[in-house]
A = this chain, B = another copy of it.
Amino acid sequence: MRKEQYTMQDIANELGISKSTVSRALKNHPDISQDTKNAVNKLAKEKDYQPNSLALSLRHNKSFVLGIIVPEIVHDFFANVISGVQTVAYNEGYNVMICISNESIEQEVVDTKAMYSSRVDGLLISTTKKTTDLSHLQSLVRKGVPLVMFDRVSDELDVSKVITDDHHGAYLATEHLIKQGCKKIVHLSGPNNLAIGINRKEGYKAALRDYKIAVDDNLIIPCPLGDLKEATEVTKQLLDSDLSFDAIFANNDVTAIGAMTSVKNKGLKIPEDISIVGFGDWRLSKLLEPPLTSIEQSGIDIGIQAATLLLEQIKAEEKDKEFKPRTEIIKSKLIKRESSTQR
């Protein structure tokens, strides 16, 4: 059995005073005499008294905990987001509880309930790729829990959102390839049920149109899973087919690496034979050989922005102020990377 905890009552007993006096002394209430405060603080330090947040949370109906649910954690983007969230949370005296849905809807539902049961003061979530039914989140909102969606969002829910400018980023990527002289640009596209996949595809098309290049649907290859195996396989098939192309715009980091692998295995050179640009927040882009030019989404910035929005809402509602959900867009940037052969 866990050792007994040392409580205010214990301090009170030892000092022959009441626990309310102890409570007030510890929070430096002006009514309490300096003598009492000294005695209480001394004993508290001596016995290494640590308040019980559970009791506090129950009392105040406020836990000072932010929840965050991500589909995976072994992924630079989400790890960066969490890191950004933590930074903001710490500064405001909040802790962070993390759940990993592992791209499983069932897990996501369970996690959401667990978060509410723990009475988190607010929740940040990036849904599963497969999530379409949002009733678990709706239920949360109905219960009055501030919610912020990031990266993978849905417009069925009237909550704050933080997204990257996928359309713009994809446009930049495609434009970059066009300016390099590429004419036949393959797009390895993401799932069509996520805004992210659609927007990137549209940005790609828009750039082609602006530069008077016909959109060829044969060059748009679906990679709905977005994992390494799929991307490698798809690209291999592409290379083995009679379709000719001189560049690939991959809708995410893993897809880009898969494409890269197959291109290399085929004995082709990057970027001489085929240029590749990837989308995402990945340390890898600069470490690969050749390092890939990429469209950076700043996970940290998204985390910071999302947590800031969430806290804003939490605080507003605590003061009974109305809070209107907002959608913040984090601009993506094109980061050109030179191949080391050019150094």
Mask, A120-139, CB within 8 Å of B = 1, is 01000000000000000001
Assess whether A212 is interfacial by the CB under 8 Å rule. no
Q: Which residues of B contact A90 (CB under 8 A)?
A: 107
Contacts of A70-101 to chain B: CB distance below 8 A: 72-76, 79-80, 82-83, 86, 90, 95-100
Binds B, one of A55-63, A151-159, A323-331: A55-63
Q: Which residues of B contact A76 (CB under 8 A)?
A: 74
Q: Which residues of B contact A113 (CB under 8 A)?
A: 50
Mask, A309-320, CB within 8 Å of B = 1, is 000000001101
Q: Which residues of B contact A318 (CB under 8 A)?
A: 1-2
**Selected contact of A53 from candidates B55, B86, B117, CB within 8 Å:** B117
Assess whether A264 is interfacial by the CB under 8 Å rule. yes
- What 8 A-B pairs have minimum CB-CB distances, sorted nearest first? A3-B144, A289-B289, A74-B79, A53-B117, A54-B58, A98-B98, A54-B57, A73-B79
Report the minimum CB–CB distance from A232 to chain B (whole Å). 12
A51-B117 in contact given A82-B73, A97-B97, A284-B287 (Cβ < 8 Å):
yes
Interface of A is mostly: mixed
Assess whether A143 is interfacial by the CB under 8 Å rule. yes
Spell out A's residues near B (CB within 8 Å). Answer: 1-3, 5, 48, 50-55, 57-58, 61-63, 65, 72-76, 79-80, 82-83, 86, 90, 95-100, 107, 113-114, 116-119, 121, 139, 142-145, 257, 264-265, 283-284, 287-290, 317-318, 320, 340, 343
Q: Which residues of B contact A61 (CB under 8 A)?
A: 2, 5
A95 touches B86 (CB 8 A): no
